């Protein structure tokens, strides 16, 4: 769903967006791209000197830019004027996602970024079929950070959410940021205690979503004891990989967030 071409408007469909974390602090208006970003421009998009791009720094800054010189994996840009990226939500959404099977967590991260998450907290629940040690060995958090950058490029955000290192479910339930903490519960696992419209719009919220096998009764009880509220989203069983998207979409719609 690309925006149409219109001068001066946010328009990701026409001008490629590249990520350069130091774009805002560079000297002389020249930005050197990391090799993978450079290769994307030169090899995939086949762009050369003079081509117009947009560059964003992942912290909310975005600029017009022109390719200054470059070949293969070495590209530098000349920065132009600042541009308005896609708006950030007013509520800071922290998305806590149980690590899923295979590559499904990638999809959840991608969708969370697209829906405007401010931070992502992966965790290993009792029914997650993976260990923290295996995630560390495979450097999965680094992979999710690359997924987050790619999703930010696609959806027009200039802010790349922080992807935290995976933690245990206990650490998540005791330590996740507030003030509002919501545990998404499936039909049949206790009665949902909350509709999103029944709480004042928070400044920040953590939304926690369980793995394919669901939360254990112990995890639900611990969450209640730690002050998390149970949130139900309709009477049907959601796929675990889709639940974060449904939860974020619901919260933003009810809270009239942008």
Contact 215, 125 (CB under 8 A): yes
Q: In whole angstroms, what is the distance from residue 70 CA to residue 47 CA? A: 9
186 binds its own copies (CB under 8 A): yes
* DSSP for residue 152: H
Give whole-number Cα distances, 7 to 3, 10, 11, 86, 233, in Å.
Answer: 11, 8, 8, 15, 40
Least distance to its own copies from the beta carbon of 104, Å?
Answer: 13
Q: What angle do CA 33, 35, 38 make, to 5 degrees?
A: 60
253 binds its own copies (CB under 8 A): yes
Q: Which strand (E) or helix (H) includes residue 19?
A: strand 17-19
Between 137 and 256, name the residue whose CB sits nearer to its own copies. 256
246 binds its own copies (CB under 8 A): yes
Q: How is residue 207 written in tokens?
A: 């939304």
Alpha helices in the chain (DSSP H): 35-39, 104-114, 132-137, 140-155, 169-175, 217-225, 243-254
CA 43 to mean position of chain CA atoms: 26
Between 4 and 25, name the residue whose CB sits nearer to its own copies. 4
Least distance to its own copies from the beta carbon of 10, Å?
Answer: 5
Least distance to its own copies from the beta carbon of 230, Å?
Answer: 13
Contact 83, 62 (CB under 8 A): yes
Residue 91's nearest CA partner among 210, 225, 182 is 182
Within residues 77-106, the interface with its own copies by CB under 8 A covers 86-87, 89
Contact 162, 119 (CB under 8 A): yes
230 binds its own copies (CB under 8 A): no
Between 42 and 222, name the residue whose CB sits nearer to its own copies. 222
Q: In whole angstroms, what is the distance from residue 32 CA to residue 20 CA? A: 8
7, 137, 191, 236: which one binds its own copies (CB under 8 A): 236
Residue 241's nearest CA partner among 151, 111, 93 is 111
234 binds its own copies (CB under 8 A): yes
197 binds its own copies (CB under 8 A): yes
Binding segment for its own copies (CB under 8 A), chosen from 19-27, 34-42, 48-56, 233-241, is 233-241
188 binds its own copies (CB under 8 A): yes
Least distance to its own copies from the beta carbon of 186, Å?
Answer: 4
116 binds its own copies (CB under 8 A): yes
43 binds its own copies (CB under 8 A): no
200 binds its own copies (CB under 8 A): no
Positions in the binding site for its own copies (CB under 8 A) = 1-4, 6, 9-13, 86-87, 89, 111, 114-116, 154-157, 184, 186-189, 195-197, 209-210, 212-214, 217, 233-240, 242-243, 245-247, 249-254, 256-258
């Amino acid at each position: 769903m690309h925006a149409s071409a219109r001068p001066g408007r946010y328009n990701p469909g026409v001008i490629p967006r590249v990520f350069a974390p130091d774009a805002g602090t560079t000297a002389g208006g020249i930005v050197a791209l990391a090799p993978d970003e450079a290769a994307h421009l030169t090899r995939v998009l086949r762009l050369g000197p003079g081509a117009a791009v947009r560059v964003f720094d992942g912290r909310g800054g975005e600029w017009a830019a022109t390719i200054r010189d470059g070949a293969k994996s070495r590209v530098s840009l000349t920065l132009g004027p600042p541009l308005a990226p896609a708006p950030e939500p007013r509520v800071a959404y922290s998305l806590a996602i149980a690590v899923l099977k295979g590559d499904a967590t990638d999809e959840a991260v991608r969708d969370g970024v697209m829906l405007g998450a401010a931070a992502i907290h992966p965790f290993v629940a009792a029914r997650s079929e993976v260990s923290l040690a295996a995630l560390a060995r495979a450097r999965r958090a680094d992979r999710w950070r690359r997924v987050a950058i790619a999703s930010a490029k696609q959806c027009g955000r200039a802010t790349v959410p922080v992807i935290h290192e995976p933690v245990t479910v206990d650490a998540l339930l005791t330590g996740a940021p507030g003030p509002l903490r919501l545990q998404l519960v499936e039909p049949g696992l206790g009665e949902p205690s909350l509709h999103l419209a029944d709480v004042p719009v928070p400044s920040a919220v953590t939304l926690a979503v369980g793995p394919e096998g669901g939360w254990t009764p112990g995890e639900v009880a611990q969450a209640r004891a730690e002050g998390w509220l149970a949130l139900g989203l309709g009477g049907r069983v959601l796929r675990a990989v889709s639940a974060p998207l449904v939860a974020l979409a619901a919260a933003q719609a009810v809270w009239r967030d942008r």
